[in-house]
Amino acid sequence: MDLRFTDAQPTAAEREAVESVLGPAGVESHQRVRTASNLRIFATGMQSVADRRHLLLPALETVQSEIGWVSEGALMHICRELSVPPAEAWGVATFYSLISVDPSPPVVVHVCDDIVCRRAGALELMEGLEANGRIPNTRWLPSPCLGQCDRAPAAYVQRAGEEDHVLVSIDPQARPMEPDGSIVSTNGQPESLAVPQAGEPHLRLLRRVGTVDPGSLDSYLEAGGYRALEEAVEMGPAAVVAEVKASGLRGRGGAAFPAWIKWEAVANSPDAVRYLICNADESEPGTFKDRVLMEDDPFSVIEAMTISGYAVGARQGYLYIRGEYPLATRRLRSAIHQARRAGLLGESMRNGVSFDIDLRRGQGAYICGEETALMNSIEGLRGEPRNKPPFPTVSGLFGKPTVINNVETLCNVLDIVSDGGSNFASLGTPQSTGPKLFCLSGSVRRPGTYEVEFGATLGDLIALAGGLPEGRRLRAVLLGGAAGSFVLPDLLEMPLTFEAASEAGVSLGSGVIMAFDQHTDFGDILARIAAFFRDETCGQCVPCRVGTVRVEEALARIRRDPQPGDLELIEEIDLAMRDASICGLGHTAAIALRSALELGLME
Amino acid sequence: MTRPETQQSVRLTIDGAPVEVRPGATLLEACRQMGTEVPTLCYLETLTPVNVCRICVVEVERNRTLVPACSRIAEEGMVVKTDSDRVRHSRKMILEFLGSSVDLSAAEDEVGEWMRQYEAEPDRYGPQSEPSAAGERDRRHPGHHGEVNGRTAEGVHQPTKVDNTLYVRDYSRCILCYKCVEACGIDAQGTYAIAVAGRGFDARISTEMDLPLGDGACVFCGNCIGVCPTGALMFRSEWELRRAEMWNPDAQSVTRTVCSYCGVGCNLELHTQDNRIVKVTSPQDHDVTNGHLCIKGRFGYDYVQNLGDVDRSSIDEVLAKARRPSPE
Ligand SMILES: Cc1cc2nc3c(=O)[nH]c(=O)nc-3n(C[C@H](O)[C@H](O)[C@H](O)COP(=O)(O)O)c2cc1C
Ligand code: SF4
Ligand code: SF4
Ligand code: SF4
Ligand code: FES
Ligand code: FES
């Protein structure tokens, strides 16, 4: 491969940013010095030039966050350092919505205008921003759901050279006030709030949330942290897998696949190199449960990953977290750092285990939550899903056997190890075992993340969240997120279990329960959902790339003046997307829409 | 169930008939072995399957969704249907999606035949949206798009990129089959001058920073042109002749010869019209080239045209235009 680069050179600041990830320029990688700042590069254990392609996204991300955009000079510098063809690097950089390849002002505010936020005043907020004209040094852009729907409306703020952050519970009347225009005023809520149930004794997944100091390993240890890892090591890897099998644990990321099947396949793989991935991309509109775990109990995520990696024989784990979760990212990074220092993570841990974690930040792409797209994203490729088979347990990250699980799925492993798989299985129903987190948002009094045992009904959860506000009647619920479906109040008695949902022809998805009252403009909501999928499809396969556009167009016609045939057209498109698309995004893109139309919510 | 690798063949059923194929064969291979037609767009024998166009989908029993025949490996006991209602529906919709968003008028002949065969009606999505301005699609930012009113069917129409004398890129005709990317990169040329950029409906084939071809890594081997199924990548000579309404495949003859530049022995197919070479291809089934050439064999034929032993005619005027860097 004889690569050709343009002559563009990086600025000193760009060079420095790239160096902070890749090490000193032009030095053979094996000679690079291990420093605190580039530790995570070495943690991966892959150091030949050909193996450094996976650093492409971290390099782009760092330039974006330090400089505010990725110039030609910076891009070429990264390409030269990593021996990546410039056209391919361009293809990767232009795939992510948080990366800008055009000169950008130092402050970029991504204002969520997705389902919940637009009902909570986001549109008004954006009109105000627009009316105020150009704010110096600031640009604002609409954004899909930021995973803050319990504190809507929300915005994610990128600031060149400074830490990014999230604004929540923004006053829709707020206008940029600061002289530099950088801050939209809020009503002063802190970034992270404890969950509504904080401190209640029956909690399992959420028991430490709001009670431990998320920044302190000691606090976690005092609360019983890392005892599960100790027990796991005493039991041995095979016994841990056996307990997970006995627990009946099924995936919490959306597909509800039994965890043990993947674990056993990788644990028994003849390949010595295996990986464990924690999927923390959480971008399904209406989902924010993983964020709560990561922000308020980060050590449990790290410990759970360590046990899981140990059980399946992986020495290296990856935690892939969406870019719009800066607080969770900071807390997890600090947790990883503290665990390493305490000998609870790294090449030779104090219990003789060897496991390390590399944290990777997504850069604004819902599709990167799909497991194989996520792997491509880590590998420095475009986040396009792969065709399956082969499945990740056979050929996953870097072509190696890989277990990938959702944050909540993995966190359950702590109790499974401590209390035993059969105890876990005694919670919930035979087919839906254990505790489950649900994300309540929309028209409820106390939106938030709630933990229940499987078997609680939809009505129970809405009641937990305080029911609907005064004068509001429940019109419909969006169950499972934008990739889920709408249901009517006649399903309030339905237990929220995998089996009951599947019998009713719906899906629990990622645990989204979004309530809508009688004042909802469903046409507006559906249009936002259609726009979401059109924005977020990777564009790789024809049925989904064009199908999502045609669905959006048909819906626009239906909203304006319904023509005979438009409904049928959406059905026809949906059928082809479900049958012929590569991945779950295409398979589910029109489901919510169709359910709303069939239930007559637009009328 | 897959049988152990020592097994000599894999037996499956396609449209009710039994078939035996070599282990590792794809369903497409199995279908072709039986003489069953399966349409393909992004598949080519000489390239790694990317399975993105999905036109080749078939129904396999006990699979929730349809599967791409071009890349799905045949398994013992599979029961495959290639012409079920579900298969026909998906193929029809895919053809409509492409036909309603892309200019297929210069695509391989089969595409039109499939349109009829599957009763595709691309027009039912409404009139084509206005073409976008030059370079506009290349600057789109992922995750955002403009207002949608449903009155027109959005397409990829845009002005042709003419930035050199050898070939043009008319991405109004691009179905994003990834073939050119593969031919330029991993599967043939190893140059990696082009890749897919952007996301979703705004995804496009691009050089780095959307640079003109000559400013990037392109070495003008023309291999991408050779694999493009839709005429999006076209010899400048052909493009100029088409613009002048002088392109006439019926009046062309193809002469097979061996490239005289070096000792590799690449086979060339010289396409001539009015005794002028109008393009050069290479047979895909040739084991030296697999259809691929270098800049000399592909474009280095001007010295033949300049021998001066033929009278100048109107075709020369047009071909002369092709030698000017920018279009007139
Ligand atoms: C478009 C799309 C987006 C997804 N996003 C996520 C996500 O953000 N988080 C997640 O855990 N799983 C997500 N998934 C599901 C993953 O592909 C995968 O099934 C999951 O990570 C497996 O973990 P689990 O078995 O523990 O649920 C997504 C799937 C699709 C098709
Ligand atoms: S279904 Fe959509 S998101 Fe999935 S691979 Fe195809 S285009 Fe990409
Ligand atoms: S002409 Fe050759 S080098 Fe240039 S883009 Fe096409 S395949 Fe790549
Ligand atoms: S330019 Fe041609 S070969 Fe390349 S992706 Fe488009 S249609 Fe396929
Ligand atoms: S944070 Fe705005 S809709 Fe979820
Ligand atoms: S030919 Fe099989 S997916 Fe394109």
What ipTM does this complex have? 0.95
Say what the alpha-carbon torsion angle A11, A13, A19, A21 is, to the nearest 10 degrees. Answer: -120
Question: In 3D, which of B184, B206, B225 has the Cα closest to residue B135?
Answer: B206
Instruction: Give the number of other CB atoms < 10 A from CB of residue A388.
Output: 14
Burial class (CB in 10 A: 0-12, 13-18, 19+), A200: exposed
Does the pLDDT of residue B286 top 90, yes or no?
Answer: no
Does the pLDDT of residue A35 top 50, yes or no?
Answer: no
> Are B57 and B196 in the same domain?
no
* Strand segments (E) across chain B: 10-14, 17-21, 57-60, 67-68, 79-81, 167-169, 195-197, 204-206, 233-235, 252-258, 267-273, 276-281
Residue B138 lies in a domain: no
CB A214 within 8 A of CB A331: yes
Whether A541 lines ligand 2, by a CB cut-off of 6 Å, is yes
Look at residue A27 in the predicted model and tell me its pLDDT: 61
Residue B50 lies in a domain: yes
What is the percent of chain A where pLDDT is above 90?
Answer: 84
| Topology of domain A107-187, CATH | Glutaredoxin (3.40.30)
| Topology of domain A522-598, CATH | de novo design (two linked rop proteins) (1.20.1440)
Whether A254 lines ligand 1, by a CB cut-off of 6 Å, is yes
**Ligand 3 centroid, distance to B219 Cα (angstroms):** 6
Q: Does A363 touch chain B (CB under 8 A)?
A: no
- Is the peptide bond between A389 and the residue preceding it cis, with omega within 30 degrees of 0? yes
Q: Return residue ranges of chain A for CATH 3.40.30.
A: 107-187
The whole-angstrom separation of Cα A151 and Cα A265 is 40
Q: Does A549 touch chain B (CB under 8 A)?
A: yes
* CATH code of the domain containing B310: 3.30.70.20
Q: Does A524 touch chain B (CB under 8 A)?
A: no
At residue A33 the predicted structure's pLDDT band, cuts being 50, 70 and 90, is: very low
Q: What is the largest CA-CA distance in chain A?
A: 69
CB B3 within 8 A of CB B76: yes
Of the residues B78, B110, B128, the one at which a domain ends: B128
- pLDDT, one tens digit per residue, over B139-189 is 999 999 999 999 999 999 999 999 999 999 999 999 999 999 999 998 878
- pLDDT, one tens digit per residue, over A536-595 is 999 999 999 999 999 999 999 999 988 889 999 999 999 999 999 999 999 999 999 999
Q: Which of A279, A408, A534 to mutate to test the pocket of ligand 1 (most atoms within 8 A of CB)?
A: A279
The whole-angstrom separation of Cα A313 and Cα A266 is 8
> Are B123 and B178 in the same domain?
no
Q: Return residue ranges of chain A for CATH 1.20.1440.230.
A: 522-598
- From chain B, pick out residues whose CB is under 8 angstroms from the CB of A102: 139, 141
- Give mean pLDDT, residues B83-90: 98
Of the residues B76, B97, B128, the one at which a domain ends: B128
Residue B121 lies in a domain: yes
> Are B124 and B217 in the same domain?
no
Whether B174 lines ligand 4, by a CB cut-off of 6 Å, is yes
Look at residue A179 in the predicted model and tell me its pLDDT: 39
- Give mean pLDDT, residues B268-280: 91
Question: Which 3-state string (H, E, C) describes A389-458?
Answer: CCCCCCCCHHHCCEEEEEHHHHHHHHHHHHHCHHHHHCCECCCCECEEEEEEEECCCCCEEEEEEECEEH
> Are B16 and B89 in the same domain?
yes
**Ligand 3 centroid, distance to B235 Cα (angstroms):** 12
> Are B119 and B247 in the same domain?
no
CB B187 within 8 A of CB B193: no
Look at residue B303 in the predicted model and tell me its pLDDT: 75
Q: Which two tokens stand for residue A341?
A: 């220092």
Confidence (pTM): 0.95
Domain A435-517 -> CATH class: alpha beta
Please indicate whether, in this complex, the C-beta atoms of A94 and B200 are within 8 angstroms of each other: no
- From chain A, pick out residues whose CB is under 8 angstroms from the CB of B26: none
Does the pLDDT of residue A177 top 80, yes or no?
Answer: no
* CATH code of the domain containing B100: 3.10.20.740
- Give mean pLDDT, residues B23-27: 97
Q: Return residue ranges of chain A for CATH 3.40.50.11540.
A: 217-425
CA-nearest residue, atom 12 of ligand 1: A253
Residue B145 lies in a domain: no
Look at residue A349 in the predicted model and tell me its pLDDT: 87
Look at residue A222 in the predicted model and tell me its pLDDT: 97
- pLDDT, one tens digit per residue, over A320-370 is 999 999 999 999 999 999 999 999 999 888 888 999 999 999 999 999 999
Mutate: best of B27, B136, B144, B199, partner A, most A CBs <10 A: B199
Domain A217-425 -> CATH class: alpha beta
At residue A440 the predicted structure's pLDDT band, cuts being 50, 70 and 90, is: very high
- pLDDT, one tens digit per residue, over A443-459 is 999 999 999 999 999 99
At residue B308 the predicted structure's pLDDT band, cuts being 50, 70 and 90, is: low
> Are B172 and B313 in the same domain?
yes
Please indicate whether, in this complex, the C-beta atoms of A91 and B197 are within 8 angstroms of each other: yes
Does the pLDDT of residue A529 top 80, yes or no?
Answer: yes
Helix orientation angle between A56-67 and A86-93, rounded to the nearest 10 degrees: 60
The whole-angstrom separation of Cα B236 and Cα B164 is 8
Residue B136 lies in a domain: no
Whether B230 lines ligand 4, by a CB cut-off of 6 Å, is yes
Look at residue A36 in the predicted model and tell me its pLDDT: 41
- Is the peptide bond between A153 and the residue preceding it cis, with omega within 30 degrees of 0? yes
Does the pLDDT of residue A52 top 90, yes or no?
Answer: yes
Q: Which two tokens stand for residue A206?
A: 């959420």
In angstroms, the separation between the Cα of residue B66 and the nearest Cα of chain A is: 5
> Are B119 and B55 in the same domain?
yes
Q: Which of B48, B56, B60, B175 to mutate to test the pocket of ligand 6 (most atoms within 8 A of CB)?
A: B56
Helix (H) / strand (E) element for A41: namely helix A39-43
At residue A49 the predicted structure's pLDDT band, cuts being 50, 70 and 90, is: very low
Please indicate whether, in this complex, the C-beta atoms of A364 and B143 are within 8 angstroms of each other: yes
Q: Counting ligands in written order, which one lies closest to the CA of residue B41? A: 6
At residue B74 the predicted structure's pLDDT band, cuts being 50, 70 and 90, is: very high
What does pLDDT average to over chain A? 92
Q: Which of B168, B220, B279, B292 to mutate to test the pocket of ligand 3 (most atoms within 8 A of CB)?
A: B220
- pLDDT, one tens digit per residue, over A474-499 is 999 999 999 999 999 999 999 999 99
- pLDDT, one tens digit per residue, over A281-293 is 999 999 999 999 9
Instruction: Determine phi and psi for B270, rounding to 5 degrees.
Output: -90, 115
Q: Counting ligands in written order, which one lies closest to the CA of residue B224? A: 3
- Give mean pLDDT, residues B249-269: 90
Q: Which two tokens stand for residue A123?
A: 């549109």
Q: Counting ligands in written order, which one lies closest to the CA of residue B104? A: 4
> Are B277 and B195 in the same domain?
yes
Give the strand order in the sheet containing B79-81: B17-21, B10-14, B79-81, B57-60, B67-68
> Are B228 and B84 in the same domain?
no
Atom of ligand 5 nearest to the CA of A148: 1
Residue B293 lies in a domain: yes
- Domain around B188: 167-321
- Is the peptide bond between A390 and the residue preceding it cis, with omega within 30 degrees of 0? yes
Q: How many domains does chain B have?
A: 2
List the 54-73 stretch of B: residues with Cβ below 8 A of A: 54-55, 57, 65-66, 68, 71, 73
3-state secondary structure of B30: helix
The whole-angstrom separation of Cα A382 and Cα B199 is 9
The whole-angstrom separation of Cα A389 and Cα A547 is 24
* Strand segments (E) across A40-171: 107-112, 138-143, 155-159, 165-167
Bridge partners of B70?
none
Bridge partners of B153?
B128
Q: Does A382 touch chain B (CB under 8 A)?
A: yes
Q: Does A85 touch chain B (CB under 8 A)?
A: yes
> Are B92 and B177 in the same domain?
no
Residue B150 lies in a domain: no
Look at residue A564 in the predicted model and tell me its pLDDT: 83
Please indicate whether, in this complex, the C-beta atoms of A536 and B211 are within 8 angstroms of each other: no
Question: In 3D, which of B47, B294, B299 has the Cα closest to residue B181?
Answer: B47
CA dist A210 → A406, A512, A568, B278 (Å) = 22, 22, 49, 74
- pLDDT, one tens digit per residue, over B4-14 is 556 689 999 99
Residue B109 lies in a domain: yes
Nearest by CB: B142 against A94, A387, A531: A94
- pLDDT, one tens digit per residue, over B54-67 is 999 999 999 999 99
Does the pLDDT of residue A38 top 70, yes or no?
Answer: no
Pocket of ligand 3 (CB under 6 A): B 183-184, 189, 191, 193-194, 218-224
The whole-angstrom separation of Cα A75 and Cα A55 is 13
